[in-house]
Amino acid sequence: MRIELLAVLALFPTLLAAQEHVTVKGRIVNRQGEAVEYVQIGVPKHQIGTISDAEGRFEIEVPRDTLVFFHVSYQQTSFPVTGPADDVTIVLHEQELPPAVSIGGNAKEKYLMRPGMNVLKDIGVISTSLKDGHPSGRELGSVAKAAKPFLVKEILFSIRSNHIPGCVASINIYRIEGKTESFVNVLHRPIYFDVAVSDGPQHFDIRPEEPLLLEPGRYFIAFQVVGYDGQAPQTGEPAMDFNVFLKNSYLRETALGRMEHFPVNIGIAVKGFEYQ
């Protein structure tokens, strides 16, 4: 018993060191040395995550473990954390996406997806907050199914209210593949836009700049808060609200390694042309 106790005591400093958090600061660039904006950064198994700013700069407190970097336009990259670091440079390599495909034939204008039924009206809302004073990478969205090739022209949705100053948000589209429901990005770059502070509703009509042809399959159209300026709401306070629409969807936080099925969505509609 005495020998076992001594062995545990000898290991105790090591166990404490393994849980100790250190601060890592740095900047994320591409191979040309240009800043990469709004990269999700985290240690998924410890449920720790954040997002870099518009200049690619980041700061995060993590245990001595592997820090992982996620951005839909770039390949996933990791960095081993062995101690505090003040000036880390992370270089991301571009993601190779298949070239845009043009398709002939007749096309008719239609909605690929509508929001579903607006339930609970003014009583219920879906809220997203800033975790620990910054965005953590949560994606809210809706699921669409393309039965035929579909050219996306407009992505429409509304925000009930927003209290995040200088808020920058993004729209992205993922193809859902396989029984494990892996998410494969289909945009070369997320669509970024500003959201004003307002107690009232704001309506958005997002039009992709790049040709966006969806092959038959299932897709996740995702909304995400990626940045803000000024004084953020206190931790835990609702920062942005959406009306509740009755249709299955997902909540997804790549940097935290989490994805949940969600019975309602935030009311995204997708309009464009379906090819016959």
Which sequence spans correspond to the domains of the chain? 2-92, 107-275
Q: Are strands 107-113 and 269-275 parallel, antiparallel or unpaired?
A: antiparallel
- Residue among 221, 225, 253, 252 at smallest CA distance from 239: 225
Q: Which segments in the chain show pLDDT lower than 50?
A: 1-3, 5-9, 12, 14-17
Residues 6+ away with beta carbon under 8 Å from 227 = 37, 38, 51, 53, 54, 135, 166, 167, 168
Question: What CA–CA distances, in Å, run from 15 to 5, 11, 43, 45?
Answer: 15, 6, 18, 17
The predicted-structure confidence for 64-117, as pLDDT tens digits, reads as follows: 999 999 998 899 999 999 999 999 999 999 987 666 556 667 889 999 998 878
pLDDT value for 165: 85
Tokens 């995060």 found at: 60
pLDDT value for 3: 47
The CATH architecture to which 107-275 belongs is: Sandwich (2.60)
Give yes or no on whether 2-92 and 107-275 have one common fold: no
In CATH, which superfamily holds the domain spanning 2-92? Immunoglobulins (2.60.40.10)
Tokens 């803000």 found at: 228
25's tokens? 């600061």
Spatial contact of 187 and 208, defined as CB atoms under 8 Å apart = yes
Tokens 């953590």 found at: 136
